Amino acid sequence: MPDQLKICFLDSFTLSPGDLDLSSLNELGKVQLCDRTNPTDIIARAKDAQVLITNKCTITSDIISRLPNLKLIQVAATGYNNIDLEAAKNYGITVCNVSGYSTESVGQHVFAMLLSYINQVHVYNKESKNGYWSDELDFSYWHNAIPALNEMTFGIIGYGKIGKGVARIASAFDMKVIVSHKYEATSDDENISFHNQDHVFEYSDVLSLHAPLNASTDKFINTSNIRKMRSNAIIINTGRGGLINENDLSKALFSRKIKAALLDVLSTEPPPKDNVLLKTPNCFITPHQAWANQNARKKLLNGIINNISNFLSDSPTNVVS
């Protein structure tokens, strides 16, 4: 490795749109920060880099083969399905990710969406300011009954770090938590129990998705599985948009097979304006921000720096290749 390590961050705007200081990366070597990078510009920008940092840029086999100096691909995220791991392995390139940085941030967003939907705070705020409350005969009013979280069953599919964090919050609301996980899992929390996936689909009032996107989970929220769910069920997805068949979900919401969907991710991001879910009733969407509170992004930056430092010390961490 040369004395002056060359690092190229292809999409640094994802980590800091201006509110974080990324100068600590300079302690590792000569850093090229690119706010965003088009696929056609990746090779030109990274041609001399030994370390490539990317959040969402897709690093294909062709790109890897044309970067002869590359030694490390550092994913500025937990998910790494945008990296051709087989090609990286064939070219002797290490791939690392950062995990656990967004657990609290995602859990916060899951319940921000759920509470916003259930309590309709934004609706009643607008109505109060527009004089609706002033015109009422009674001191209090609401449109529909407000559900009690502690009487609801909260289902979770995927019990990694984020799934566990969300389960803890649900339990703190005294919700009954039922979990489906690929591997055997246990909990000392009496509110949390483990079941097969069909059980979780059938008995959840709220279903939160925290499984990784892979061949077995791709579009597994589809007509077949939605049919197993309660008509009052609410789906929350802060994981990957590809977990959901968006056409099937839209049809289910239009026909009221389920009650609502609260989504922070879609299959294509940013979504095309004709994405079917953008005009689907009872589908509430935020723009992939669950992971991104400032504290989480600080943890992510520290994780990136630690991984690169450990790689340079011949003791790589968080290796996924």
269 is catalytic: yes
Question: Could you say which DSSP state residue 244 is in?
Answer: B
User: Looking at 181, 210, 288, 297, which residue is catalytic?
Assistant: 288
Contact (Cβ atoms closer than 8 angstroms) between residue 248 and residue 223: yes
**CB 315: neighbour CB atoms within 10 A?**
8
User: Looking at 181, 240, 246, 297, which residue is catalytic?
Assistant: 240
288 is catalytic: yes
Residues 6+ away with beta carbon under 8 Å from 264: 109, 113, 237, 238, 285, 286, 287, 288, 289, 290
Residues 6+ away with beta carbon under 8 Å from 115: 121
Q: Buried b vs exposed e over 62-77: b needs ≥16 C-beta within 10 Å?
A: ebbeebeebbbbbbbb
Residues 6+ away with beta carbon under 8 Å from 317: 96, 306, 307, 310, 311
Instruction: Give the span between the Cα atoms of 29 and 15, in whole angstroms.
Output: 19
CA-angle at 150, arms to 149 and 156, nearest 5°: 70
Element housing 295 (H / E): helix 294-312
Q: Which residues belong to the active site?
A: 240, 269, 288
